[in-house]
Amino acid sequence: MATGIDEMDPRLVSLVDQCRHELDGRFHAVSTVRRRFDAGGAAFPKAERERAWRAVMRRPARPSLLALQPVSRPGGTGQISLFQGDAFYLDADQWFGSAFRGVVDPSGGAWVGFWRAAARNGNAWADHRGLRMESVDPDQQLHLLDVNPAGKGGLPTLVIAGRFGRRHAQGEEEGSDAWPEWVYFDALRVCRRLQREGRLGSRVAMPVLFSELHGVPYARAIALQRRFALDLLRQEETVREVMISVLTPTAADALLDAWHLAAGDKDATLLTDLPPWVLKAIDTLEGDVRGALGTEDDAALRQGVQDVLQRLRKRPLYLNDIAVLARNVVEEWAQRRSTAAGLKSTANLASMVSHLRGRTGTPNRSLLYVDAIRELGNVGAHHRLAPHPLSSEDLVIILMGLKAMLRVERELGD
């Protein structure tokens, strides 16, 4: 491990474990845990103490991007992003969560992750004392929790009561299973109010809100949450991105399957369906791209390309997902590089890449490979309307485009 905890004095290891429990199990604030740590580790040299403290504060790996869906709207494009990892370590400014009757329980599923992140960022819920919950609708269905897992002073968390809330009871009285839709309608109304008050974030993150725990089949829960995310982006233009994350690979596979079912995207490809020459080309080009990443200093670019490569190994392959992910990586890279070079970062992707290539000695074909990702990403984003769907050969072009982008990046650096 980077922290070298296996090499520490056993007494320090015990102290690290105790402090982790204070953060992850009892949700004490970092300042409280640090005081206890300093008192318990006072006899050890400063360098050893600091290494041990880094082990206490280790965070989960950054959630990996699984798929994204651009959402067209009058004020510009928004997007829905799907991740695997702890939702509360996403780069968001506001979170939505679901609960029972508006009661938040730290022993329940996603709320453990919520309080873990909150404790590490200056919030605390020591000794499980009560919380300040502000009800924001007459039905006591939606509440604001004055805690933001990204840090103190952030936007409040919207807590949506699901099962055993008033809407659930109403559904049971009427013999209807439509109560989650009623809840989401109420949530949209509250989001409009929050937007007027300046309390609605531009990047909103959430775990899966209603599923088996709330008596809703998983596929239906994802379809309803997808519709809610689309409505939120289309109705509130200040919201630029809605992020949904699940914790485990098994849950990620289920999320993707349910998501594609809800989106009507049936273009799944099995590895056994790929021609041998495509498989061979993918293996070779993936090796080239990974080799180029080994010397890449741009952390955001490196992570973005790794997310695309990871999706290439998912079973089954969704070609549209991969193309859209790759286009997103190229676009974000081009915007960062254009800004750094004093170019117009608001230009279209083709123009930005063309101007960047002009700053290097990269051959024109590199531009064509990178621009091909833009074209394929557009097809993937609008697969329902595209006259010619993506094919397995396009995976080779995408990898060639990523390789060309990394070459341009290297030459810009030089």
pLDDT digits over 316-329, tens only? 888 888 999 999 99
More confident residue, 138 or 286: 286
Kindly state whether residues 341 and 230 are assigned to the same domain.
no
Q: Does the pLDDT of residue 308 top 60, yes or no?
A: yes
Is 283 found in the same domain as 354?
yes
Question: Is the pLDDT assigned to residue 2 strictly greater than 50?
Answer: no
The total number of structural domains in the chain stands at 3
Taking the C-alpha atoms of residue 331 and residue 325, their distance in angstroms, rounded to an integer, is 10
Judge if 138 and 106 occupy the same domain. yes
Distance, CA of 197 to chain centre: 26
Q: Do 101 and 226 lie in a common domain?
A: yes
Domain stop point among 20, 35, 56: 56
Q: Is 167 in the same domain as 294? A: no
> Are 405 and 298 a contacting pair, CB within 8 Å?
no
Query: How does residue 231 score in pLDDT terms, banded at 50, 70 and 90?
Result: very high
Integer-rounded Cα Rg, in Å, for the chain is: 24
pLDDT digits (tens, 9 = 90+) for 105-140: 777 778 888 988 988 888 877 655 556 788 898 888
Q: Is 299 found in the same domain as 190?
A: no
- Other beta carbons within 10 angstroms of residue 137's beta carbon come to 15
Q: Are residues 235 and 323 in the same domain?
A: no
Strands 142-145 and 203-206: unpaired
Interior angle at CA 162, CA 207 and CA 260, nearest 5: 45
Indicate whether 5 pLDDT > 70: no
pLDDT in tens, 24-50: 888 888 888 999 999 999 999 999 999
Sign of the dihedral defined by the CA atoms of residues 32, 34, 39, 40, in that order: positive
What mean pLDDT is reported for the chain? 87
Would you state the pLDDT for residue 313? 83
Looking at the structure, do residues 358 and 388 belong to the same domain, yes or no? yes
User: Are 107 and 183 part of one and the same domain?
Assistant: yes
Token code pair at residue 388: 């010619």
> In this structure, are 256 and 273 located in the same domain?
no
Q: For tokens 């099962």, what's the residue?
A: 163
Residue 253 has pLDDT above 80, yes or no: yes
Q: What is the pLDDT of residue 129?
A: 58
Predicted confidence band of residue 3 (pLDDT cuts 50, 70, 90): very low
User: At 213, which CATH number?
Assistant: 3.40.220.10
Instruction: For residues 101 and 198, state if they share a domain.
Output: yes
In this structure, are strands 317-318 and 142-145 parallel, antiparallel, or unpaired? unpaired
What pLDDT score was predicted for residue 402? 95
* Residue 360, helix vs strand vs coil: coil
Q: Which of 59-68, 89-98, 383-392 bottoms out in mean pLDDT, i.e. has the lowest?
A: 383-392
Residue 79 binned pLDDT confidence (cut-offs 50, 70, 90): very high
Do 272 and 316 lie in one domain? The reply is: yes
| 228, 263, 298 - which closes a domain | 263
Res 1: pLDDT? 38
Model confidence band, residue 218 (pLDDT cutoffs 50, 70, 90)? very high
Strands 203-206 vs 157-161: parallel, antiparallel or unpaired? unpaired
* Domain span including residue 199: 64-263
- What pLDDT score was predicted for residue 50? 92
What sign results for the dihedral spanned by CA atoms 92, 96, 98, 101? positive
Please count the other Cβ atoms lying within 10 Å of the Cβ belonging to residue 139: 14
Domain edge (last residue) among 245, 263, 281: 263
CB atoms within 10 A of CB 79: 18
| Residue 368: CB atoms within 10 Å | 15
Which 3 state secondary structure label does DSSP give 283?
A: helix
Model confidence pLDDT, tens digit, residues 345-388: 666 777 887 777 777 666 667 778 888 998 999 888 877 666 67
| 252 vs 247: CA distance, rounded Å | 7
Residue 273 pLDDT exceeds 90: no
